[in-house]
């Protein structure tokens, strides 16, 4: 859910700024995207990354880069639109499910690719970092979802108490 989290952070931080200053935020957003994409593209172009690895970490990295570009598109779209149409929000949440699946694949492939440290070290270490980032972002949304459910439940209990 790393990509989902990146778009979430971009959207909510852009809402702190007045509408007339959001174009300035796009420059910061572009720099942030470059910081996220640069290590991925760097490792992809390294000669060692094309060596044989028992697990398809290189294919997984390519899919991760594609999702990073998609997240960039969502971040730019969401920070420029006010209000965001419901269809874009629905597409974003579907993208979140795709991002979650990609994170699971990244974690599973990294856990089973310990022998790749010797053949493709940069690819393995980047995959490990991305797996950790996916775990942390998933934990964030699980906590956020748990707090949301608790808040909804408490508000329902409060409404029932007022009706008695």
**Domain containing residue 110:** 2-163
User: According to DSSP H, which parts of 112-120 are helical?
Assistant: 116-119
Cα–Cα nearest to 70, from 25, 102, 46, 22: 102
Q: What is the pTM of this model?
A: 0.82
Model confidence over 1-12: pLDDT tens digits?
889 998 898 888
SS percent in the chain: helix, strand, coil, step 5: 85, 0, 15
Q: How many domains does one find in the chain? A: 1
Model confidence over 52-102: pLDDT tens digits?
778 888 889 999 999 999 998 898 888 888 788 899 999 999 999 999 999
């Amino acid at each position: 859910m790393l990509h989902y989290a990146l778009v979430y952070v971009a959207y909510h931080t852009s809402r702190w700024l007045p509408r007339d200053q959001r174009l300035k935020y796009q420059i910061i957003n572009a720099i942030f995207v470059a910081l996220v994409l640069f290590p991925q593209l760097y490792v992809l172009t390294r000669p060692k990354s094309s060596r044989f690895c028992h697990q398809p970490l290189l294919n997984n990295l390519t899919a991760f880069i594609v999702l990073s570009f998609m997240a960039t598109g969502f971040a730019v779209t969401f920070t420029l639109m006010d209000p965001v149409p419901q269809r874009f929000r629905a597409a974003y949440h579907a993208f979140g499910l795709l991002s979650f699946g990609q994170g699971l694949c990244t974690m599973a492939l990294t856990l089973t690719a310990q022998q790749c440290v010797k053949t493709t070290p940069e690819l393995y270490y980047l995959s490990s970092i991305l797996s950790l980032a996916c775990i942390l972002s998933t934990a964030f949304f699980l906590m956020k979802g748990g707090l949301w459910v608790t808040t909804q439940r408490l508000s329902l209990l409060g409404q029932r108490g007022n009706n008695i």
